[in-house]
Structure formats: structure tokens, C-alpha cells
Amino acid sequence: MSEEASELIKKRYEKLQKLRQHSIDPYPNRFFKTHDIKRIKEAFFPQQGLVVGHVKTAGRVVSHRPMGKAVFFVIQDEADKIQIYASNETLNEIDFLVLQNLDLGDIVGVEGETFRTRTQEPSIRAHKLTLLAKNLSPLPVVKEKEGVLYDALSDVEFRYRKRYVDLIVTPKTRHDFKLRSSVVQAIRQFMQEEGFMEVETPMMQLVASGAAAKPFITHHNALDMDLYLRIAPELYLKRLIVGGFEKVFELNRNFRNEGISTKHNPEFTMMEAYQAYADYETMMDLTQRLFVFVADKVLGTQKITYGEHIIDLTPPWPRKNYLDLLHEYSGIDFKQKLQEKLSLEEAKELARKLQVPHHEAQTIWEVLDEVFSHLVEPKLIQPVFVQNYPKAMSPLAKSIPGDEFLVERFEPYIAGREMGNAFTELNDPEEQLRRFEEQLRQREQGARETMELDEDFIEALKVGMPPTGGLGLGIDRMVMLFTNNHSIKDVILFPLLRPRESKK
């Protein structure tokens, strides 16, 4: 950066030099505050009036208005901002030099009295000004009046690549990631209060199973073997149910080597929970209560504004059968067609008539899935449990007793988006083996995504797993819902981007 430094940056380095020549350390070792800004506002600035008091606080200069030998500037800390007033009359000679060389983006410590300006703006009259870190890489200049931003940082790429800058200049970014943290915290609290134990299972696995997705491969040098980054924690969590823990959950990252989109990041956060002596209906109830708990906790309401919609999380959420929804939105009774032994060709013909693209579908189930995602999913705005899915797409779920095609599985849908996946867990090891083998057969027939056979998991089931309900929730998507964001990159602090040729 330095040899290509722009004029702006050169100026900053010159100021740095000037300060050092006057024995001012632009990067002192420490500075301790008596108050953070929010507390100053609370303690010294009642609605009307003022409590005069002495404070010592710090923050980043986010606005800078010199006026003669006086300067009004605003400092921002993690939670709030306050205006500082300083001049040659309030500061000593050395601190005034700091003031004269102050730039947007500098981090400063301030000591002084609280007061209100003529326009009643809460302010601090600085008697001491300490430079704590010089800004050498000028920030985008974003101005703000009554909550409206002017020249807001709108270069999306810049915001993702330089998230630390985005966090400084874009209040919504700060807000959304604080809210994300609160969501995660609320989920943990809810699960713990429900009696679930948080566990950590391997992220590096010998067999990447538990979901149908392409894994990332990594390598262990000492053992000289390839490992997969997990695509799901599912099979390990169920091993713990076998081991005798009755309520477990894990809240952490999964890795899937798939395309990147507004709804997909290669690493994403899931919460998976398993409860022994329970079934998928138990998990529906848990899901509903969890969403309500989190919404109350972080938003204080069960009605969420998302884009054009007001989404009402108030339970109970309706439950609709997968095949009934297909019937409802396509006009075709697939349940009947299945009983009449519908062929793949006939299924594709039906999809053609419905104008649903299906060219890559290799099985009847994949055709149905295409129809579902094109005709049904976008309509599922208010919370709904879609239940009783085709067996062929759900190799880890228990069959509905007496039903040839369907399993006890549901997916909660909100805002046209799948928020999770849950089922009554298959615990019959022989059946599980057959299902894995069926996956292999489907793959040989050309199915795009199938699940890997995990032999040790079969061994675990042979030891005996009680009847169990399991649930997975996509945390990123949940946060998108709660923060009214439409791109997953806006709820991931550092989304994966291709590297860029230096510069910027």
C-alpha cells in the first residue's frame, strides 16, 4: 500500500510523523474509561436538562467539524455516539496539536465535562484529548441526519471484503450482527432450559454423511489420510442418543462444497437437536416454541416484517402434507399417481405441462421435488410445517407405519424458505442399511445427490437407539428472517469471496 499511497494516505503519515516529532505517541499502550458513551447519555443527559459531570471515555472519530480554532467531532463506541467540543481554550498546547491533526477514523480518548450546546445536543467539553490509534487508511465518508444516511457505503463487495470498515460506517451492519449474536444466545438459552445438553462432535469425518451434499476434502499429514469436513453432525449426535444421552444439541458450522448464492454459503451454521423417547411431532412443538422464544427475546414481538410481508409466528403453525400441497398448487393428485405406479417419463411429462424445469431430474422423486420447489415453496410465506415426505428423499427418517411411500418428516417453511428439517429418526439398523443401499442404487441410476453409507453408524444402531425425534435448523436463514435480509452474506461476518488482485 505504502509505495502506491494516495495523497490522502500520505497526508495521514505526515501527520503521524508530526505528532511523533512532538513526542506524542500515536499508539499508546493503554487507556481506561470511566464510562462508556451509553452510560454517559443515561447518567448525565436526562430527557430534558443536564447533570454536569466529569467523564473519561473513548471512541472512533466518525464526524469532524472544525470551526475556527474549535472543533466539534463525534466519537462512536460499540453502542453509542456523542459529540465532543474542544478548542485551544479547553485543551493544553500538546492536546491542541492532537486536535489540529485529528482525522476521521482516529481513535481518541477524551476527558472532560458534560454539557449541552445551544441546540441541546449532548456533548463533552474536552479538557484532555489523547490519540489512541491513528487512522492511516481513510474511511468512506458517510454522513447522517436524523437517521438518514448520505453517501452510505453501497459497494457490496467492499462491504463484504472490508467488513471491519462496514461495521464502522454502516449502522445496519452493526445492528444485524448484534442481533445475530442475540439469536444464537437465545437459542442456547432455550435449548438449555428445555433440558438439552450442548455437545461438540467431529467436524473432520472419515465419511461425510447425514445429508446429501458434496463435502470438502482435507488431509491429515501424520496419519496420511484424507478427511472430509462434515456436511452434517447428524450421525454423530444419534450415536450419543445410542450412548444414553437423551437430549443433545449442537450449534455450529457445516461445510458443503456446492454453489454460492444469496441463500448458500459454503460454511453455514446449523442447530441440530435430538431427543430420545420423542417423535417428529415433539420436534414440531419444540420448533414452534423455539421461534417464539427467540422472537420475543430479540425482537419483543411475534410479528416479523420481512420484505413486503408481516410474518406472524404465533403458534400453532398449520401442518400440511407434502403430497396434499403438491396437489393443491399443481392441481395434480400425485398420491394417486404414485399408487398407479407412475413412471419417470410420465412424471416428467406432468412437470412439462406445469412448466416446471426438470431436465436434471433422474428419479420420480426429484421431479416431485422440482414441482414442489417451483410451485409450492414460494407460496409458503406464513409459518407452516410441511410434513410426511417421500421415503426416497429421506433415508434417515422412519416410515409412516403402513405407508409405502412416506416417512415421518417435516420441514418448517417461513417466507418461502425452508428453515429446517426434522423427522422421527430411523432406528432399525437393518432398515437403515437398506435405505443407504437404496441411496447407492439411486446414485447408479444417476440421482444427483445421495447419502453416503456410514457403516459405523449402522453398528451404533445395532447397539440400540430409542425412538427419537431429531431437528435441524438453518441459523443463517433464521437470522436473515429476523434481520430482514435477503442475502446470506449480510448475516455472515466474513462470507467467502474469491481473492482479489491486491489494490483496494
Partner RNA sequence: GAGAAGCUAGCUCAGUCGGUAGAGCAACUGCCUUUUAAGCAGUGGGUCCCGGGUUCGAUUCCCGGGCUUCUCACCA
Which residues ranging from 135 to 194 are in contact with RNA (CB under 7 A)? 138, 140-145, 150-158, 160
Q: Which stretch binds RNA (CB under 7 A): 30-38, 50-58, 369-377, 459-467?
A: 369-377
Among the listed residues 55, 75, 110, 488, the single contact to RNA using CB under 7 A:
488
In the bound state with RNA, the residue whose beta carbon lies nearer, of 451 and 465, is 451
* Binding of residue 375 to RNA (CB under 7 A): no
Cell 438459552 sits at which residue?
A: 189
Among the listed residues 50, 70, 204, 344, the single contact to RNA using CB under 7 A:
70
Q: Which stretch binds RNA (CB under 7 A): 220-228, 256-264, 327-335, 424-432?
A: 256-264
> Restricting to residues 409-438, which ones interact with RNA according to CB under 7 A?
418, 421
In the bound state with RNA, the residue whose beta carbon lies nearer, of 215 and 276, is 215
Of 271, 202, 269, 278, which Cα lies nearest the Cα of 247?
Answer: 278
Of 300, 269, 280, 318, which Cα lies nearest the Cα of 419?
Answer: 269
Q: Which stretch binds RNA (CB under 7 A): 41-49, 115-123, 193-201, 324-332?
A: 115-123
Cell numbers at 504, concatenated: 483496494
Task: Measure the CA angle with vertex 237, ends 179 and 314; round to 5°.
Answer: 40
CB atoms within 10 A of CB 80: 16
In the bound state with RNA, the residue whose beta carbon lies nearer, of 135 and 275, is 135
Rounded least distance, CB 222 to RNA, Å? 30
State the number of CA atoms in the 13 A half-sphere of 489 facing the CB: 15
In the bound state with RNA, the residue whose beta carbon lies nearer, of 242 and 269, is 269
In the bound state with RNA, the residue whose beta carbon lies nearer, of 58 and 422, is 422
* Binding of residue 63 to RNA (CB under 7 A): yes
Residue 383 CB partners (closer than 8 Å, separation 6+): 288, 291, 311, 312, 313, 317, 412, 413, 414
Q: What's the CA gap between 312 and 367, in Å, rounded?
A: 31
Q: What's the CA gap between 49 and 44, in Å, rounded?
A: 9
Q: What's the CA gap between 488 and 293, in Å, rounded?
A: 23
Beta pairing class for 247-255 and 197-198: parallel
Rounded least distance, CB 108 to RNA, Å? 15
Among the listed residues 3, 7, 308, 444, the single contact to RNA using CB under 7 A:
7
- Residue 195 has φ and ψ, to the nearest 5°, of 90, 15
* Binding of residue 50 to RNA (CB under 7 A): no
**Is the torsion defined by CA of 263, 267, 273, 274 positive or negative?**
positive
Among the listed residues 135, 205, 209, 265, the single contact to RNA using CB under 7 A:
265
**Is the torsion defined by CA of 221, 222, 226, 228 positive or negative?**
negative
> Restricting to residues 327-356, which ones interact with RNA according to CB under 7 A?
none
> Restricting to residues 272-301, which ones interact with RNA according to CB under 7 A?
none
Give the SS3 label for residue 335. helix
Among the listed residues 19, 40, 62, 85, the single contact to RNA using CB under 7 A:
85
* Binding of residue 357 to RNA (CB under 7 A): yes
Among the listed residues 414, 477, 480, 482, the single contact to RNA using CB under 7 A:
477
* Binding of residue 453 to RNA (CB under 7 A): no
* Binding of residue 370 to RNA (CB under 7 A): yes
